[in-house]
Structure formats: C-alpha cells, structure tokens
Amino acid sequence: MAMEDLVGWLEQLVWLLWETARERPAYFLFATILPLAALAAFCIYVTLHLIAPKPRLPFPSEKTYITTHPDGSTSSPRPLPCWYDRWRAEGSLAQEYPTIPKGFPLPSEPAIEPAEVEVSVVIPAYNEEARLVPALEEMVEYLDQQFGRPGANGGPSLLHPERQERSAEKQPASQRGKRATTPHRLVFRPDPLTPRPSSSDGPASFSSPAATAAAAQPPPSPTAPRPCSGYEILLIDDGSRDRTVEVALAFARKHGLHDVLRVVRLEKNRGKGGAVTHGLRHVRGRYAVFADADGASRFSDLGRLIEGCEDVVDGSNRGVAIGSRAHLVGSEAVVKRSAIRNFLMRSFHFVIMILTPPATSRIRDTQCGFKLFSRAALPHIVPYMHAEGWIFDIEMLMLAESAPPTPVLASDGSVIGTSSGIRVAEVPVGWHEVAGSKVNLVQDSVKMAVGLAVLRASWMLGVYRRRLPPA
C-alpha cells in the first residue's frame, strides 16, 4: 500500500510540474530548473573533492637514493638533489614575507636551477626484475655512445673501459665523437656556457646574425662553471616486492655506473604517474625523459625526441616531445594484437578527443611511455600534477597546453609578442610488444576513462588549479 501511495504522489508531482512548465514557463525555469542545476553542480563539485586524486607527500627516505661504489659495494642513502624544493621555496617568498618593499629584486616567476648533466632518464619500475636488464642495456649503450659519462668535477666524460671499447667499435667512424643531435638552435636564448654551432658540426650549422654574434662572444673564464655533460638514470622503485632494486644495483656494478644509475625507493606504491612525477622533481638534466622499464620503445630514438623538442621550444626554452606509435596502426605489430585490445585503444582515443582541450585532443598517441621535456618546461608541469595512475600522461599534456604565456623572440632577440602554452612535438618512434604487461585491458581501460572524466571535470570546476599542493 505504501508503494502505491508513493507512485501516486510522484504522478501528481510530475503532473504539477508539467502544468507549471506549460502555463508559466519563466516561473518554472527560475523556480525549478535553475535551482536544480545549481544543486547538481554543487553535488558534483563536492563529489570531485572527495574522489579526485590527491597525491601523497613523500616520506623522508624517498628523498634519498642509493648507488654503487667503484669497489662494488652499495652506498648508504644519499640526499637526492631536488630542484622542486628550491623552486617552491623561492616561489613562496612573497607570500611568507609580505613586508618586502616594492621594487625589491625578487623574481616574479622562480627559475629552475641550472642543469648539471645533459640528459636525465627517469624509469618507473614496479616488479620489473625480469624485464629491466634488456632495457638498461639498450639505454646505457646509446647514452654512452652519444653523451658519455660526466667525469669528476665536470671533467671529461668517463666510460667503463670495456663499454668504452665496445661502443667505439660499434659506432661508425664518421660519427665518433659527435653528439646525438646538433647543438641548441637559434630559438634557444643565448647561453655563454653552451658551445655554438660551427662549420665542423655538420649541415645543421646556422649563420644568422644572432648566431654569429653569439659565436663571437668571448669564451667563458677558467673559473666559470663548465657546460653540463653526460647523463644520469633515476630508477624509481615503486614499492616492488621482487628483486628489482638488487637487479638494478648488480647492473650498475657490472657496467661501472657508479653514481650514474641512482635507485630511489618509494616506501609505498604510488602508481606509475606518482613514480614518474617523483623522479621528474629530482632530475638534474638539460633534458628530462621518462621511459618504461620494459624497453618497449626503441631508446635510440631519444635523439629524435631531442630534435623534436628543439623544433618547438619557445622563447623561454620550454618544449615537450613525446614518442608516438600512431604510425604503427595497420602494421603487423598492431594487427596481431587482440581485437578487444584494438577496440579499447580506439575507444579510449575517441574519449580523449571529446574530453581534452584542443591541442591535447589532436595528439594521436598520448599513452606511449617515452616522453621528453626541456628543463625550462618542468616547473610549468611537474609541480601541478595530481594523477598518479595511468591517466597521468594526459594531465601532463593538458598542463603543457595551459602553461602561462611566454615572450616570442625575433631573430635579433627582441620581443615581438607572446605565446600561450608549451608546444608538444609528436615524434614517431620504434616500438614492439613486450611480454609481462601489468595492464588489465578491460579493468584498466574503464579506470582510465573514469579517471579522465574526473580529471577534466576537476580542472573545469576549479577543483584542480595551477597552485602548489600542501608542502
């Protein structure tokens, strides 16, 4: 009987609303529709605050790293360099000290500290003992050939003797001693510590007035810091329960990667996005790249990513280059995959086109685990990351697209306008399927779609903003 009364009451309510909407539409709009819409928006806003990802703060032990000594022993935990902490401290000076007089020389936008090495590689690893060594072999082989290893006190690059001999034999004679890419191009601000292109650098040399003036600058004094060189590898162990750390340290001993391969242990699993974000906060490189631990992407394409980044950098040296597998659609590597996997891939790409802003929606492959950032781009992306799951790639690209404007420079260095956002170069890279994937096709695809909807709604409704999370 109670159910029949409830149904009858609902029928009367619907009939009343229908009669009101037909006879008094303006009153119905302002008295019913708008309050209900406002209530729904408020409920969504509160719900997003409850379910939107909130990255946890790092534990003290996670701000240290371990490496190997030349005698083969494992080092004790060492402090992990962190540009992010210094950047935050400088950025909060104005808020902490409101009595600073106007005109005091305080930077309006904190600058990231200078690079110490040429390339930083971040590898998120969770239970990767079986797949890690082949990826590291390919990675170190390429980095040794193209960048070398930094010597003591910024001296000449030093390689492990066996690897140095092997790299020299494999590298063509015409390419020995040359960089992976041409030196920084004209779009970069002049840097007195960076060697300028010369006629011996190959066909990519420039002879513009600005480049000629930069080349004519006197060399830095002997007391000035030397240009950065070499590379570093940050392995972020995301709470692995297997021997991932032991395998990485054994590889470092075998190949003489003392203080080049640094292992950072996270006490609790944070997810791939959380591990990558943690690693990018501590990189020392002119370029920062993260690569999957399975080695699915061909690491020798790093040079193409660097060139792609240099093609799109703006007047503040900000640029992003991402590896793309879109050119492989229709190839044997993709056709052989299961029909459900290809269907979910296309469906997810369709959802991205709908839910992401224009520049991000045009990217054909957002999920490839091979992305590179110029050092100047990091402070506009990394501090504002929230997602720690699989969807973090898209948040990175959205943050790059929404970055604040920067000056546009003419060939003579004068400012001729501004450019909003950080441009992203999508670069085709080699890729192959690797056994042992931890992705559950259906479950993770649904999680990624829901995560993308939450992420987009959070940015649209102001749950996420370009503000720093709590320290």
CATH number, domain 60-216+226-460, options 2.60.40.3710, 3.90.550.10, 1.10.3720.10, 3.40.640.10: 3.90.550.10
For the chain, helix (H) and strand (E) counts, in that order, are: 16, 11
Taking only the tens of pLDDT, the chain with its 471 residues reads: 577 777 777 788 778 777 777 777 787 777 777 888 888 888 998 999 888 888 888 999 999 999 999 999 999 999 999 999 988 887 666 555 556 566 555 445 667 889 999 999 999 999 999 999 999 999 999 999 999 987 644 444 444 445 445 544 555 554 444 444 444 443 344 444 444 343 334 333 333 333 444 444 445 444 444 567 899 999 999 999 999 999 999 999 999 999 999 999 999 999 999 999 999 999 999 999 999 999 889 999 999 999 999 999 988 899 999 999 887 765 665 545 556 666 777 788 888 888 888 999 999 889 899 999 999 999 999 999 999 988 999 999 999 999 988 877 777 777 777 778 999 999 999 988 777 666 676 777 788 888 889 998 998 888 887 766 555
Asked if 315 and 409 count as a contact pair (C-beta separation under 8 A), the reply is: yes
CA distance 28 to 25: 5
What is the domain partition of the chain in residue ranges?
A: 2-51, 60-216+226-460
Q: Could you give the 3-state DSSP secondary structure of residue 164?
A: helix
SS3 content of the chain, % helix, strand, coil (to 5): 45, 15, 45
Q: Could you give the 3-state DSSP secondary structure of residue 54?
A: coil
The pTM score is 0.79
